[in-house]
């Protein structure tokens, strides 16, 4: 997962108050997070730091990190498939959708349409997980579920 909880929280708190660090007893329990304030921290800055901790939404951060992992895996799959046909990636391949070239035009259309179907599926799968309609797949399982790449 791309989320580094201690670094994320430390950066957010450090933006409003001088600190020397934060200790995390149980990452899932904010009551165990302890801020080590710098000697120069004012009462107002300490209150702002406590407010950052109180407002921090751990589940949203986890959801964003999971989504980022899935998005990167899906993007890598799209790019890998386009590279098998000699394109730099899916973006490059999709730009050929308007090409008059008898090879590149149809390939560009196929890659563009496949890309759209893949992202539609990906975001629906994530929405279904968040709604409790399905279990969280691994990135590998999600890739296996995607619509198949075009065949030429």
pLDDT digits (tens, 9 = 90+) for 93-143: 999 999 999 999 999 999 999 999 999 999 999 899 888 899 889 999 999
Cα of first residue to Cα of last residue in the chain, in angstroms, is 35
d(CA 111, CA 107): 6
Lookup: tokens for 98? 């308007």
- Predicted pLDDT at 2: 46
Which tens digits make up the pLDDT trace of 62-98? 788 888 889 999 999 999 999 999 999 999 999 999 9
Nearest to 68 by CA among 1, 142, 137: 1
Give the C-alpha separation, 73 to 58, whole Å: 23
* Range 15-42 average pLDDT: 93
**Stated pTM of the model:** 0.70
Q: Count the alpha carbons within 13 Å of 47 in the hemisphere toward its beta carbon.
A: 3
Q: Are the C-beta atoms of residues 78 and 144 closer than 8 Å to each other? A: no
CB within 8 A of 122, min separation 6: which ones?
70, 71, 74, 142, 146
Instruction: Specify the residue for token string 């579920």.
Output: 145
Residue owning tokens 């975001």: 123
Sequence ranges of the domains in the chain: 5-56, 60-145
């Amino acid at each position: 997962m791309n989320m580094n909880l201690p670094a994320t929280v430390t950066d957010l708190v450090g933006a409003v108050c001088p600190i020397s660090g934060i200790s995390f007893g149980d990452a899932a329990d904010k009551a165990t997070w302890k801020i080590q304030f710098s000697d120069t921290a004012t009462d107002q800055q300490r209150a702002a730091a406590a407010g950052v901790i109180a407002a921090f939404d751990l589940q949203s951060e986890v959801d964003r990190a999971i989504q980022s992992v899935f998005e990167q895996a899906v993007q890598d799959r799209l790019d890998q498939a386009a590279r098998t046909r000699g394109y730099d990636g899916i973006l490059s391949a999709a730009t050929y959708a308007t090409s008059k070239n008898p090879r590149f035009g149809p390939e560009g259309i196929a890659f563009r349409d496949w890309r759209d179907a893949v992202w539609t599926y990906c975001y629906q799968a994530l929405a279904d997980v968040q709604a409790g309609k399905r279990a969280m797949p691994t990135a590998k399982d999600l890739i296996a579920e995607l619509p198949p790449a075009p065949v030429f």
